[in-house]
Structure formats: C-alpha cells, structure tokens
Amino acid sequence: MPFFDESCVLVPVSTLEDFPKGGSDANARNLLAAWSVLWHPAVVVACNGAPLWYRADSIPGSDGRRLIAVPDDSREMMPEDQRLGLIDLADLSCPPIDWQSDVAASNESAPAVGQAYGVTGADRNAMLTLLGLNRKTDSTTPSPIQWPDFPESVRAGHRTVVPDDFFALAYANLQIQVMTRRLRYSSNLDEMQLRRHATAAAEAFVARDGETCVAAMHDAFDSIAEERDHYFASDPSLIDLVLLTPATLCQDAMESWGEDSHESNAVNAAPTSPPSGADIPAEHEVMPDNRLQSEIESETGTSPETIHAAPRNVLLDRDVCQAIHDDSSGRFAALVSAIRDGKIGWAGGSPGDIEFDLMSFDDGRRALIDGHSLAVQTIGEPPKVYGRFCGGTPSDFTPTLGRLGYVGVIPIDFRRGTGHGEEAKVVLQSGGTELEALTAKPIDATSDASFLDLAAKLGESIDSGEIATALLVHWPGKTCDSFQDLRRAASWSLALGKFWRLQDYFVDGEHPYHHGTPTHVSNSASQSLSQAVNEDAAADPISTVATDTRDAVIRQATLRLDAMADLASGKARLESSDMAASQRGGPQEQPAASAVDGLAESAERLAAAMGYNVVTSSSSSGSPADAAIVLNPSSSGGRREVRFSQPVSRKIKHVYGVSRESGSEHDTDWNLTPITGSFWSATTDAPGHGFSVLRGNPKVASEGGPFSRHGWLGRKWFGDGRIARGDFLGNQFLEAQISMSSGGISSVFSGPIRGNRFSMRLIRVAEGNPGTKCQMIADKVVTVRNGNHLGTIQATGRLVDDDQTMLAEFDFRYSLLRGSRNLRVTGSLRPAIACNGEPWKNYFALRIATATESAIDRVIVRDKLHRAPSRRMVAPLGVVLDEAERQTLVASHGLAYHRRVGERFVDTLLCCQGETSTEFQIDYGFDIPAPVSMAKSVIAPPVALPISPSDQAVASEPQGWLIHRRPSTIELSDVTIFRRDDGHLAGIIRVMQTSGQSVKAKLRFCRTVAVACRFDGDPATIDAPLDALRQKLDVDGDAIKFSIAGHAVLDLLVVFQRSDQTQTDAPEQA
C-alpha cells in the first residue's frame, strides 16, 4: 500500500477567490511551485491521488501520513503545534522510505503513523530536488523516499507526456477555479472527477502506458475546459512575443526554433549562457527557457487536432533586421527560415530607435518606408504586423502603415513601458484608414507574479465586452515556470486561451469594434532626452537635435522651391517612374550636402524658371542690389529685408517700409550679410509659395516731400522711427523692455489687451533647486544696432545663485525688425558649473513667464499643433502658449525640450549633461496668425536674390504666387512635380491641417488643373487614365476644393492641362 495517505498544499488564504495576486516575484514563484509540485506523477501514485488544498491556519486533523507542500507565506499562519510537528524531508536521517511499505529500506522502524512531512523550497526545482525527483540536475543528494520507478516521458502518437504536463494541469486547475470563484462566486468543477483523471494519468505514466496516460490527461483538461465554458464561451488570446536586440541575437537561442525533428533535444535545451548586453535590465530574476517538446514548437499548423499549437512570435526591430541582413555566416538562417515557413510569427518594419516627435512628418514617413523595405530584404517577405522595440508610433502614420500592407499594429514602446491602453485590441482610425492595434499591457513572462491571477484578468476582460488578450513578453531563453505551465496547458486545452501567431491574430482572431484614442503626441517622448544622456551618453543631446531639425526644415523648403521651379517652367525633372519608385520605398532625390547652399541653388533655379537673371556677383558678395526678387518657400506670407543701392518706392503695395541704413556685424542674427557703408533697406512682403520683385530707383529719393511721414518735418513731428530707444525695442506691433540690471526681458506690450504680457530670464535648475534662487546680473546693456529697419540691444553678464556663486556667463542680443511680430534672442552661454544628472532636473534654460495662469501649452509636432500631453514637452519647432485672447509663440529653432514650471512659467532647455554647444537662437512671436508656418519660416525665411534690373519683367515690380492655399491653418509640407507618361504635368501635394478643426480647403495653382483626386499611395494611380481616377475633387479652372479633417494629412494628385490644350500659364499676380 502507498506510504502516504494524502498529499496537500497549504494556501495562505481562506478561500480560492482570495488567492494572492501581485506581490513579489519570489513569493509568487514559491506559492505556485508549492501548488503544483505535488502533482508530479510519482507523488500522485505514492499518495494514492492528486493533492488537496487546505487553509494554512485551519488544517484538518488526520491519522494518516501526509506529504504537505508549505509555501513560505503559509508557514507563519500554521497552528503552532502543527508547525512544530512538521517533519522537514531535508532533516530525515533514516534511510530512504519505501513508498510501498511502512518499513525503511534497512528494516529500521519507519516514522510513526500520523506524522506530516513538509516540502519547502524557493521554487519548483528546489522542491523537486528535496523530494529527489529532479532529474534535470546532477545532484547526488539521496532521496528521503524511494519513489516508484517512473520514466522521463511516455508517448502516444504525436503526443509526448512528461512530468511538466502534470504541473501544467495543476496550474490550469488553479487558474480556472480562481477565475470562476472570483468572478462568479461559485464553481461547477467536479473536483473528484478531476482528481480521478489525474490519478489515472499518473498511474499510467508510472506504468509506461502512453495511450492510457494521454487519454486520462485529455479527460482531466476537458473537465477544466467544461468548467471555463460554463461561464465564458470565448477563448482568450495569448501572444508569446520574444523581444530581440542585436545583443540578444544568440545562435543557440535561435537555431532550435526551426527544428522539425520530433526527437530533437535542442528544442528542450536551455541556452548554454543567457544572452548579454540587453538594452534594459530585467526587473525580475529569470530562469532558462525550458522549451516545449518539438512537436509543439515546430509542427505549428500541421499538428493533430489533439495538440493545440503554441507558436512563438519575435519582434524584429530595424537594428535586429540590419544585424541579420549584414550577417554573412548564416547563423540566423534557421530563424529566417522558420519565419518564412510560418512556424514563428513576427512583427517588424520599424524605423529603429528614433523619436517621431523630433522629426517632421515627411521624414518620419520616409523612415517608416525605409524600415519596411529593410524588413522585406531581410526576411524575404513583407511584415504584416508593425511593431517596434523603442519609441511610440503616432496615429497620424496609420494611413502610411495601411499603404505598406500592414494588417495590425503594436503601438507599444517596450523599452519605456508605454503605449498600451485600457483595452487589449482596438481599432485605430486616422486619415480614412482603419487598422487593428494590439494595445494590451505587456505581461512579464519572466515573473511568476504576473501569472497568479492571469485567468481572472482575462475573464474580467471578457465580462467587459473586450477581446481578452494576454501579451506575454520576454527575452530569448528567459521565462518562468508559470509561463511554461501556461504554454503546456494551452497545448492540451483552450481553457486558459489560445496562442496565436501575430499575423493570424489580426486576420483570423476576434475583431474589435471599439476605437482607440488617437495618440498624436507621444507621452514618453520626454524620456528620449533622459535616455540619450543617462543610457547612451550622447554628446550634445540638445544641439544635435536642433541642428537636425534646422537642416530638415531647410531641406523641405529646398524641395518646395524645386517644385515651384518645375511648376513655373513646365519642365519637370522627375518622370512618373521616379514617383512610382519613391512610393514603393525607392531612393529619393536628395538636396545639396549643405542645406543652406541647396536652398540658394533652388531659389536661383526658380528665379531662372520665372525669367529673371540672377546676378551671381552681387549674390556672393552681399553688396546692395539694383533689383531683387524675394522667393518664399513657406505656405504663409513672409516679410523680408532687402538691401538696395538706390531707394525703393514706398507706394508699391508689397513694400512695408523703406529707410536709409548702414551695415553692422550683428545683421547676421537675421540672416543678413554684413555690409560696410550705407544702403537702402526695403521691407517687402512675399505671399506663400510666391514672390515679390523690387528695384532701386533714384527718382523716388524725395518721394512724399518734406511733409510726409518720412520727410524731415515728419521725422521731427513723429520721431525718426528707429527701433531701439534706450532699453526699449519697439515697432508697430510690440514694445519690449530689456532690464538694465539683469539683462533679461522685463516686459513686452503687444496686442489689444493692456499690461505686461511676457518676461524672460536665464535660470539654472538643479535637483532640489527649481531655479527661483538664481539671479541674472548684467555687466553691460548697450544698443549695438539702431536703425529704422532693425534694432539690436546686447546684454552681457553673469548668472549667480543666492550666495553669489557664479553659475554661468551669458551674452544675449535682442533684435527686432521693422514690421515683425517676432522678438529674436541670439546668444551664447558659458556654464561655470556642470549640469550632471537627470537632464530634466539639472539644466540651464530660458524661462519665460506669461501674464495669466490659464495658458494652454500646444506643441508643434510634425508640422501640427497639439495640446501638450505632459509638463515635459518635446517640440523641436516650438511651443504655442494659448491664452484666452492672445497667443505667444516660442519658435525655438530646433531647441526641442521645454518644461512647464508652475502655472505661469515655461523653460526652454539650453544645456544639460553632455552638451558642449554654447550658441543658440530663439524667436518669441506675439499673436502670430499662422504659428506653424512661422516656426519654420524663422529657420528657412524667404530668399532674396539680386537680379538684373534690365529684365523687362522687373519694370512692373510684380508680386504673385505659384501655389495659393486657404485657409491659413493648412500647410503644404511636400510638393513634387513630375511628368506623366501621357505628357501631362502633374504633382503630388501633401496637405496638412495644423489645427484640430475640420475645414473646407482650397488650393490654386499658376496652371490650369485638368483633374485632381486623393492619392492613396498606389503607384498605378500615377499614370492611370484621367477618366479612371477615383476619389476626384472639385476642380474650377486653376483651383481645387476639398475637405480635410482636424490634424489630418492628405496626399493629392493634381494633373495639369497640357500646354497644347491651353495657353501656357504665368505666375498669378497678387
């Protein structure tokens, strides 16, 4: 007869519905191990049945011998007499006890009847070792009990049974009971029947009867499944996702995934050593991945119905794809082959470790296309599910992902732990495209604590009408025992859920009907600065982003000028085949290496296309021009200072002001070339995507006479109109006062509301010091440029703390142009102390203050205005402080990191740890009508080129546009002109709505439009017959009309009439 009369586990709760959840990983591992270890088939046979469970504080008495699994949390709850009477198997000194006899092996007396033997240990392996049942170790510790002889495994058909399958049965039993009792306060599980099936399976296992064992195991799992189906009819979805980085791409962990042999031991073997160099440290201690039998790992999709597949999925980020693509040794051939054959699911196509909030929309879209192309080249087939390891994916890229062929998206930032939602699977809708998204909160598959109440959480999701999904995430070769129990249980029954390949999950899985909340701005973008400083130790983390942003804006302006030149001349440089290749992810035409040089070259090309001869000698020397053309690549009108050798008429409608000036070295602050001597300065307006032409004329020198505003008597009555007056800078739109004591901006008066609306100072923030105790001390405040067109005040001094310790030296120049709403600050900062530590808590910054505490922060991200999601803001183009009746624009010239402090202050970071750049430039705009366009115009302003005054077109001094848009909230971020195969000149125009309101928009061109339609990215549309084009727009001569939703991005295909069908058009005169 069996030596033990009963086996049981003591749980530290009164009922299973109160079963612990959460807590430390060590406690969870210990508790779940104690629950399952006694389900080992040898123990079940030796104890004449499957184990029971009892409350730790109320153990029924028994005259028989017991084998008791005691979790650490239960030991202190046991009654003192029972705890003291518990015999620890590790302390037995007598020879091993024969499980079939009351007599020890040496015929000595066995322990008395009624005694209890405790099984303890940190985890299941430790408990199995204590029992002498752990055959996975080489331990020579003698077993205290002579267990029945049992095999390592038994087999019946395609199914192999090992002791781990009994542990999986125990885990499934626990989870279903906890779920039904917690959510339904009852249980219909026939525990006696379950125990009979488990006992029969154990006895058959020991007897090496594979057929009977497998049949009994199926009966046991079916009992559990029936209990689940009684309450929840739908099967939860389980996703096993392995995160990969180049550092974790170890050959041992990858090769076994492609094995097809049922007898292969490689599938079950753990890696010889854990992969090193992971980008993020594991939060929990992890154990080697004891993989499933090869028939479950490799026979995905071909296994008998009695074996449910448990496929794995891998996340192939751009860096991983690049490492596989560049490898010539074939180490990863097994992994690539397994993906191609459908044995492993995958997600990929990401652009790598980039932050979309630091990029323009066009650059972000190009990065997505490049990442997708690399994934296709690496695997040999396009990914159907998009995912990335680090960084979020804004919802305005959903149409781009749809065009690339993705059927699902994982918008989760696994490195930072953000991007998940309240529901596991939702619909993302943007720009007329819908994609399903997996937004379940990732579950750490290396932590047993995550699996304590997994089924209950999935049941709650089903109750809420959601698509219950568990996203189980881990590194290769690292999981926990509970995760392996779940995988084994899923191979026997769908009671706990079904494992999916990611592709199948989105195509064949349950489809959601709830829509997710669009994420236009990443909540974790601010962590990119911390990551760059603390983890990557990047050099110049602030100025590098600023430089990249300025270059990107100038490149965009260059491409728009090129498109304007093609449109004006009718001679497109690109053919339709070039556009089709670009839409498929082919190489794009790149501007000149120097962004500024490329802008100038494109402007000269546009001027030539319009029939003007550029005077290159004057352009290179910077000397005053006899005539000039101003070309504006921006969507909004711009104002530009142009210098002439002769006076310019003030009566021309696009001339804002004219004055006699002299040169200064500080003119470079406004992108003006310093000139020695005097000249005539004219302030002219150029419409968006348009031009203005001016010429000097000596006949207008005395225009207006002495009694005019600019005559000697007018200047005497009204003042000479100079911008700088003492410590003030003032023009027609604003008046700013520079503090003589501190060197900061003490006040700005602008707009219809009276009172000071703005101030600015330099501050130093350190942990524990918010910057309120430091003080600017000006050593010198002087006017260095004072004219009717430009005024500049220079302030130099020191920043000190409250005990007068010098923190930094500063040199600021405040400049204001005639007719401008922007106050420009150009300066240098020389820190005297280092800013070490967390960059958001240790930095130098410009701190501005607004008049009210109700200002709303709106960040300019990817050429659109969005409400800031947090007090730490990432916006390389700047921030708009939206007050009730006025707006203040912080056009930061690429300084991307801003922080709201208190209710009235906003900091723009200048320096943090690792930053060596000392120069900066920033514009503060007041009540700017089109803030997004202005934020880009201060970086790429209208270009002024000297032209020959003898050109016939110069005489009329025209002003006009080549493309006109309405309303002012829409931006043309990308314009590409090409020639179709049928001879038509055409263009693809990318239109953005910068605000969150839907509007009716109108575009006009300098050419007559034949047809226009929405462009969905299909290359076949580019050369499609005009009658076959779909989603056509209203066309009226040179104008097209359409509606655009808030924050939407539309690509439009515009086909112009051929020159043989209509007279060649000229630029429209404004």
Q: Residue 810 class from Cβ within 10 Å (0-12 exposed, 13-18 middle, 19+ buried)? A: buried
What is the arithmetic mean of pLDDT over 732-752?
Answer: 94
pLDDT at 887: 93
What is the arithmetic mean of pLDDT over 730-750?
Answer: 94
CB atoms within 10 A of CB 285: 13
237-251, 452-466, 959-973 — which is least confidently predicted?
237-251
What is the arithmetic mean of pLDDT over 971-999?
Answer: 93
C-alpha distances in Å from residue 813, one per residue of 826, 920, 921: 5, 11, 10
Q: At what angle do helices 210-231 and 163-184 cross, to 10 degrees?
A: 10
d(CA 55, CA 23): 19
Residue with tokens 């109750």: 463
d(CA 418, CA 336): 29
136 versus 880: the higher-pLDDT residue is 880
352 versus 171: the higher-pLDDT residue is 171
∠1070-934-977 over CA atoms, to 5°? 60
pLDDT at 482: 94
pLDDT at 525: 87
pLDDT at 290: 36
pLDDT at 416: 87
Three-state SS string over 135-148 comes to CCCCCCCCCCEECC
- In one letter, which amino acid is 789? H
Q: Please determine, for residue 627, whether its predicted confidence score (pLDDT) is greater than 50.
A: yes
d(CA 348, CA 951): 57
Nearest Cα residue to 631 out of 561, 562, 570, 569 = 561
Exposure on the CB side of residue 245, measured as CA atoms within 13 A = 16
Predicted confidence band at 1065 (pLDDT cuts at 50, 70, 90)? low
Predicted confidence band at 585 (pLDDT cuts at 50, 70, 90)? low
pLDDT at 758: 95
What is the per-residue pLDDT across 227-255, written as a single tens digit (0 to 9) for each? 888 888 889 999 999 999 888 876 444 54
What is the arithmetic mean of pLDDT over 570-584?
Answer: 83
What is the arithmetic mean of pLDDT over 457-483?
Answer: 92
Cβ contacts of residue 467 below 8 Å, gap of 6+?
A: 237, 423, 424, 425, 461, 509, 510, 512
What is the per-residue pLDDT across 443-452, written as a single tens digit (0 to 9) for each? 999 999 999 9
pLDDT at 701: 61
CATH assignment of 959-1069?
2.60.40
**Quick check: helix, strand or coil at residue 760?**
strand
325-334, 556-565, 886-895 — which is least confidently predicted?
325-334
Q: Please determine, for residue 94, whether its predicted confidence score (pLDDT) is greater than 70.
A: no
Domain ranges in the chain? 6-231, 237-267+284-507, 543-721+941-954, 724-937, 959-1069
pLDDT at 111: 45
What is the per-residue pLDDT across 833-875, written as a single tens digit (0 to 9) for each? 998 999 999 999 999 999 988 899 999 999 999 999 899 999 9
394 has which bridge partners? none
636 versus 254: the higher-pLDDT residue is 636
pLDDT at 298: 40
Q: What is the maximum alpha-carbon separation in the chain?
A: 132
Q: At what angle do helices 163-184 and 481-492 cross, to 10 degrees?
A: 90
Predicted confidence band at 158 (pLDDT cuts at 50, 70, 90)? confident
pLDDT at 1002: 96
| Phi–psi pair at 654, nearest 5 degrees | -100, 15
pTM of the model: 0.86
pLDDT at 107: 43
d(CA 328, CA 334): 14
pLDDT at 1067: 65
pLDDT at 272: 33
Predicted confidence band at 297 (pLDDT cuts at 50, 70, 90)? very low
Contact 985, 563 (CB under 8 A): no
pLDDT at 92: 63
Dihedral, CA of residue 186, residue 192, residue 194 and residue 195, to nearest 10: 130
Predicted confidence band at 704 (pLDDT cuts at 50, 70, 90)? low
What is the per-residue pLDDT across 649-679, written as a single tens digit (0 to 9) for each? 888 899 998 888 887 666 666 667 777 778 8
> Tell me, what DSSP letter sits at residue 109?
B
What is the arithmetic mean of pLDDT over 129-138?
Answer: 79
pLDDT at 706: 57
Max mean pLDDT among 29-38, 260-269, 280-289 falls in 29-38
pLDDT at 619: 56
pLDDT at 594: 54
**Quick check: helix, strand or coil at residue 278?**
coil
Q: Please determine, for residue 257, whether its predicted confidence score (pLDDT) is greater than 60.
A: no
Cis peptide before 967 (omega within 30 of 0): yes
Nearest Cα residue to 198 out of 216, 176, 222 = 216
d(CA 904, CA 714): 42
What is the per-residue pLDDT across 800-815, written as a single tens digit (0 to 9) for each? 998 889 999 999 999 9
Q: Please determine, for residue 776, whether its predicted confidence score (pLDDT) is greater than 70.
A: yes
Q: Please determine, for residue 23, whether its predicted confidence score (pLDDT) is greater than 80.
A: yes
Contact 906, 805 (CB under 8 A): no
pLDDT at 266: 31
Exposure on the CB side of residue 1036, measured as CA atoms within 13 A = 8
724-937 CATH pick, 2.70.98.30, 1.10.10.10, 3.40.50.620, 3.20.20.150: 2.70.98.30
Looking at the domain 237-267+284-507, which fold is it? 7-stranded beta/alpha barrel (3.20.110)
What is the per-residue pLDDT across 476-491, written as a single tens digit (0 to 9) for each? 888 999 999 999 999 9
Question: Whole-number mean pLDDT of the chain?
Answer: 85
Q: Residue 537 class from Cβ within 10 Å (0-12 exposed, 13-18 middle, 19+ buried)? A: exposed
Q: At what angle do helices 454-463 and 163-184 cross, to 10 degrees?
A: 40
